[in-house]
Every structure is written in structure tokens, then in C-alpha cells.
Amino acid sequence: MIELKTTDEIELMRHAGEITAAALSAVRSAAHVGVRLDELDAVAAGVIADAGAEALFLGYRPRTAPSPYPGVACISVNDAVVHGIPGRYSLEPGDLVSVDCGARYRGWSGDAAVSFIVGEHPDPRVTRSDQALIATTQAALDAGIAAARPGARLGDVAHAIGEVGRAAGYGLMEGHGGHGIGREMHEDPHVPNEGRPGRGLRLRPGLVLALEPMLITGGTDAYDEDPDGWTLRTADGTRAAHIEHTVAVTEHGPEVLTRLPAAQGAR
Ligand code: MF3
Ligand code: CO
């Protein structure tokens, strides 16, 4: 069932989104070579707790998951695409890092992700390739956001996201996409990262969606799950990026609820 949010509810979701963005921004600032992923997770936990919010991901357990999610953030490095568990791995020069985080504030959720490069890779071609991948993932998200206008259809958003990724020759994580969000992190509708314009649900003010392109360098859509039951890695071993925003459809157009603070030079 698709639930439209009231103006007051969207106001609360703005707060949840702001806290989520602040956590991501702090993690990005702390992500230097030699820092462990569990240390970055603690940074996210601190920001969320200090804001009087709850970590949305911690303890999350979809029906198909083997165990409750053990982190505050998902941190996925290089060939890991999404749902990487922040463990004792220390960041290395040139790592491509995707951080996904969520907060719940007074019962309302925010969900967002950023991708960035840490330090310099010994092979400059790797860094150049990662920069292009991240830029295209951001462009795919921006196209999806721009398409999330009242009166448009879900297929327009899905198509806008997928077109950008496919045109650049990247792969798109078979079956994975975004979702409705509100009191729950994952609500209807599922938002595919590829679709046909003019098809599907008509977007109305009050619909809030998490849009999240995941692009794979090697062009495959295939992925594997780690033995931890969470981390998803590209099947071809190439690197992936994942960028996400929580976006409200308003009568004035799309509004991004998880915009990162400008001080960190983020978008
Ligand atoms: N943004 C991710 C998603 O929608 C959040 C996953 S949280 C986890 O899939 F707890 F399931 F890892
Ligand atoms: Co999400």
C-alpha cells in the first residue's frame, strides 16, 4: 500500500533527513587512509545519538536476512556495492567507499548514501575510472530526482536513472533499486533503477521515495553475497558506486530531504 505523507509528516522527515546527511558528512570527513570501518560506524552512531535520533539500520532484519543488521551504517569498499558490514578493515589509498546510513527521528525515517575515493590509488587509471563512475552515479540520481515531479510516473523516474548508467556502459545490480520511505525504511513502492517512461504509478504530492542508483564499472548486472549474509559484491570483481537520497514529491516538484551540509563540500 502506498501512503502519502502530510506536510507536517514531511517536515519531520526533513529532520530525519538532515540528521542522516550530517552523519554521512561526518563519516566522509573522518574517512582517511588507515581508519577502520568500525571506527567510521562509531562516527555515524555518535552524530545520530547526539541529534536525539535512532540508527535506522541497526538491528534491521528483513524476512530473508539471516541475522539482524549489526551496524549503524553500511560501508561498502571497492567491489562491494551495498550492505557492507563495517568491520576491522582499514582504508587503503585509492579505496572507493560507499557509505549508506539512516536515522529515525520522532518515528520518521531518512535514508541516504554517498560514494567517494580515499587518498590516491597507486595506479592513477583506477582513480580516474572511479571518478567517472561516481560522477555518473550522481548524474543518474540527479536525473531520477528531476523526474520525480507530480504527474509523472514511476517508470519515468526508473527510466531516467537507468538511462544515465546504461549510456555510460555501467551495470545496474539486477533487481535492486529504491523504495518508498516513511515510518518504515522500506515501504511501497519499489523503485526499479531501470524502466519504461510513461508506465507505472502516477506520482502525487506526499509520496516520499529513496532513490539509489548502484552502478558497476564492468557493465555486468550480476552480484554475489558474502558469507556474512549481507555484503553484496560485483560478480565480475570490478568496482561499484552507490549514491542515495530521500526525496519528497511536493506540489512544487521534488525536494531532497537528505542534502549534505555545504561545509563539507558535498552535494
Ligand atoms: N539504503 C539501503 C537499502 O535501502 C539500506 C539498507 S539498511 C540494512 O537497501 F540494514 F538493511 F543494511
Ligand atoms: Co535505501
Cα of 57 vs centre of ligand 1, distance in Å, is: 7
Residue 184 has pLDDT above 60, yes or no: yes
Residue 77 lies in a domain: yes
Ligand 1, atom 8, lies closest to the CA of 57
Range of the domain at 137: 7-261
Write down the mean pLDDT value for the chain.
97
Lowest model confidence (mean pLDDT) among 51-60, 64-73, 171-180: 64-73
pTM above 0.95, yes or no: yes
Residues contacting ligand 1 via CB (< 6 Å): 57, 60, 69, 74, 83, 100, 111, 179, 212, 244
Cα of 58 vs centre of ligand 2, distance in Å, is: 14
Residue 267 lies in a domain: no
Ligand 1 atom having least distance to the Cα of 178 = 4
Residue 181 lies in a domain: yes
Residue 66 has pLDDT above 90, yes or no: no
Close Cβ partners of 38 (under 8 Å, ≥ 6 residues apart): 86, 87, 88
Mean pLDDT value of segment 82-109? 98
Residue 1 lies in a domain: no
Mean pLDDT value of segment 153-175? 98
C-alpha angle 22/158/169, rounded to 5°?
A: 90
pLDDT of residue 263: 56
Residue 111 to residue 150: CA distance in whole angstroms: 21
pLDDT of residue 267: 44
Render pLDDT for 10-44 as a digit per residue (tens, 0 to 9): 999 999 999 999 999 999 999 999 999 999 999 99
Cα of 114 vs centre of ligand 2, distance in Å, is: 12
pLDDT of residue 224: 98
CATH code of residue 136: 3.90.230.10
Residue 2 lies in a domain: no
Burial zone of 63 (CB within 10 Å; 0-12 exposed, 13-18 middle, 19+ buried): exposed
Residue 244 has pLDDT above 50, yes or no: yes
Kindly state the cell numbers that stand for 142: 540527479
Mean pLDDT value of segment 206-230? 98
Residue 48 lies in a domain: yes
Residue 215 lies in a domain: yes
Residue 266 has pLDDT above 70, yes or no: no
Provide the domain count of the chain: 1
> Residue 181, CB half-sphere, CA atoms under 13 Å: how many?
34
Residue 239 lies in a domain: yes
Ligand 1, atom 2, lies closest to the CA of 100
- Percent pLDDT > 70 in the chain is 98
pLDDT of residue 240: 99
